[in-house]
Homo-oligomer: A and B are copies of this chain.
């Protein structure tokens, strides 16, 4: 495929590196230096602005900008007949994301969203095990995700509502929501608290969420910017066992998956653990899923419809907290 990349920061560079076997033909960034650096690395030509890029002769466009412009660029690219891979959260509001989703439906092009946590090997393997029936019918998930904090965090763009669309709920909380939906299907909000407990900022720094579906499954989620030590934990409970994912590599600790399988006699379960210590291959896996979906005409794992459902939960959470 001939690819265009809008946004040449850290994520744009990772996307380019993960697209090996395809041609990065065109790149652009408000920061010309960054665009030039990625051009030098990939051999891509420079586009003067994203409007030019999305109108060019490309098969697919990767949108890796800050939250505020994701939706507009993705929508224009779809309307220009390109497949799109847009970073999470794909927009700042339900309305924005709805617009992108409608553009995707109208164009018949794929709009994948960068829910890259799905492609972490421990999480992906957990999903395969759930789908194969390893833990039986789902009961509930517990998710804990947190950042340990760093000096000046309250002044970063994520803390400024106009640039981010929200705080920790939209940052790490969105991943927990997406993963809960992936493991349990459609969910709606049962409870939310999105307080600002520590940082002097205008967005939430903690979000506590209870989601549920009609089958009585519950997702019990907490994400925090005052976790004091980076952590990721997702515990998935079925009638026949549980799967526990801990860590995401790097400062989030070794990524492991533990399977506790209930035995007929109950008592201590049979426990198996896998340690995924290798380099982060989630970006390659995610891009491969994008390509697969385009080639087969199927859905991508994590697309604009998933992002829309997630945004509806986020909006409901902010409404509930404000009331």
Contact = CB atoms under 8 A, between A and B. Distances in A.
Interface of A: 139-140, 142, 144, 148-151, 190-191, 193, 195, 197-198, 206, 208, 210, 212, 216, 218, 220, 222, 224, 226-229, 237, 239, 241-242, 251, 260, 262, 265-275, 277-279
Contacts of A144: 142
A174 to B, nearest CB: 19
A265 B151 contact: yes
- Number of copies of chain A assembled together: 4
B229 A268 contact: yes
Nearest to A197: B139
A272 B269 contact: no
Contacts of A274: 270-273
B277 A151 contact: no
Contact of A208 (B218, B227, B272): B218
Contact of A228 (B148, B197, B241): B241
A268 to B, nearest CB: 4
Contacts of A226: 139, 237, 239
A24 to B, nearest CB: 26
A277 B273 contact: no
Contacts of A241: 228
